[in-house]
Amino acid sequence: MAVQYGSRLKRAVTFYIPLTCLLVGTLFPFYWMVITSIRPDVELYSVKMNPFFTLHPTLSHFYYLFELTMFPRWAWNTLFIATVSTAISLFCGLLAGYALARLQFRWAPSLGTVIFITYLVPPTLLFIPLGDVVKTFGIGDTPWAVILTYPTFLIPFCTWLLMGYFKTIPREIEDCARIDGASRFQAMVRITFPLAVPGILSAGIFAFTLSWNEFLYALVFLASPQQKTIPIGVFTELVRGDVFYWGPLMAGALLGSIPVALVYSMFVEHYVTALTGAVKG
């Protein structure tokens, strides 16, 4: 009996308690956003009320967000920019990752490392020269200003991730296809790319998330309210000086986080597969 009790205690200390702490720490920000977005202003700005729950939930902050701000336009801009940027980055990263993983040339390993290092360059060092590029092409304050600048950090990451995933796919599979008469391009498109779907989806999830939540480039290159994305619009329109409109602010943050959460939940199995490798021999 004592052995069984000791086993349960050990499992609780080593598994259940850390798991509970992790879940609470992870989900608490979302809970705080939900509670703040549905609390009326009377409770929200009263120091006497319990900040962890509300007795009179309301949707007035959501009405304010949709009726008195341009949130629907911000949401469309964010979706359009994130989707196009992700598509461009995946296309380039897919071809570059395959070339670095499969084609044999002298500088392939070093080039792969250099490409990943470029991803580590802080955006604060790049937005000034990129600003000159945007100004030269005359695309400032348009979605294309960020659509064409986001790939500067998305393509290196997608290339690095897909290059590593392609290396886990046995080369012999392509060799067999080429022996049967397929060209390299046919083997790549019909054999390797379908096997790399988990890696492609994983890179796409990361690229979409980074594009959706990007702040600095959007803040610099998008000025007019109708061109802003959700992170920039919520921050600039609902924070005025030292006045924070906490209800609509948290409502916007909550609605802005839902699409990313849905993307992760839809492709979580492929995401885990990409982290654990491709075809096991």
Q: Which of 214, 211, 212 is nearest to 255 (CA)?
A: 212
Quick check: is 95 in a domain?
A: yes
Predicted confidence band of residue 43 (pLDDT cuts 50, 70, 90): confident
115 pLDDT more than 80: no
Specify whether 54 is located in the same domain as 65.
no
Cβ atoms of 153 and 123 within 8 Å: the answer is: yes
Specify whether 237 is located in the same domain as 172.
yes
Specify whether 73 is located in the same domain as 114.
yes
Q: How many domains does the chain have?
A: 2
Among the residue ranges 100-114, 205-219, 221-235, the one predicted with the least confidence is 100-114
Q: Which of 239, 244, 199 is nearest to 219 (CA)?
A: 239
Predicted confidence band of residue 189 (pLDDT cuts 50, 70, 90): confident
Reported as a single tens digit per residue, the pLDDT across 61-101 is 999 999 988 999 999 999 999 999 999 999 999 998 888 88
276 pLDDT more than 60: no
What pLDDT is attached to residue 223? 86
Quick check: is 281 in a domain?
A: no
Specify whether 25 is located in the same domain as 128.
no
Question: Whole domain around residue 51: which residue ranges?
Answer: 2-58
State the Cα–Cα distance between residues 193 and 199, nearest whole angstrom.
9
Which helix H or strand E contains 121, and what residues bound it?
Answer: none
Specify whether 226 is located in the same domain as 265.
yes
Q: Which of 51, 45, 75 is nearest to 246 (CA)?
A: 45
User: Between residues 8 and 73, which one has the greater pLDDT?
Assistant: 73
Which token pair is 14? Answer: 């080593």
Predicted confidence band of residue 163 (pLDDT cuts 50, 70, 90): confident
Last residue of a domain, one of 33, 58, 83: 58
Quick check: is 97 in a domain?
A: yes
Specify whether 147 is located in the same domain as 269.
yes
Mean of the pLDDT values across residues 41-52? 80
Specify whether 20 is located in the same domain as 158.
no
What pLDDT is attached to residue 280? 45
Chain centroid to CA 56: how far? 34
What pLDDT is attached to residue 229? 93
Mean pLDDT of the chain: 84
What pLDDT is attached to residue 272? 60
Among the residue ranges 10-14, 191-195, 209-213, the one predicted with the least confidence is 10-14
Reported as a single tens digit per residue, the pLDDT across 254-275 is 998 888 888 777 776 666 665 5
Quick check: is 167 in a domain?
A: yes
Specify whether 15 is located in the same domain as 115.
no
Specify whether 79 is located in the same domain as 171.
yes
State pTM to two decimals.
0.84
Specify whether 43 is located in the same domain as 105.
no
User: Between residues 53 and 22, which one has the greater pLDDT?
Assistant: 22
Reported as a single tens digit per residue, the pLDDT across 241-259 is 778 888 899 999 999 888 8
Specify whether 150 is located in the same domain as 192.
yes
State the Cα–Cα distance between residues 250 and 138, nearest whole angstrom.
35
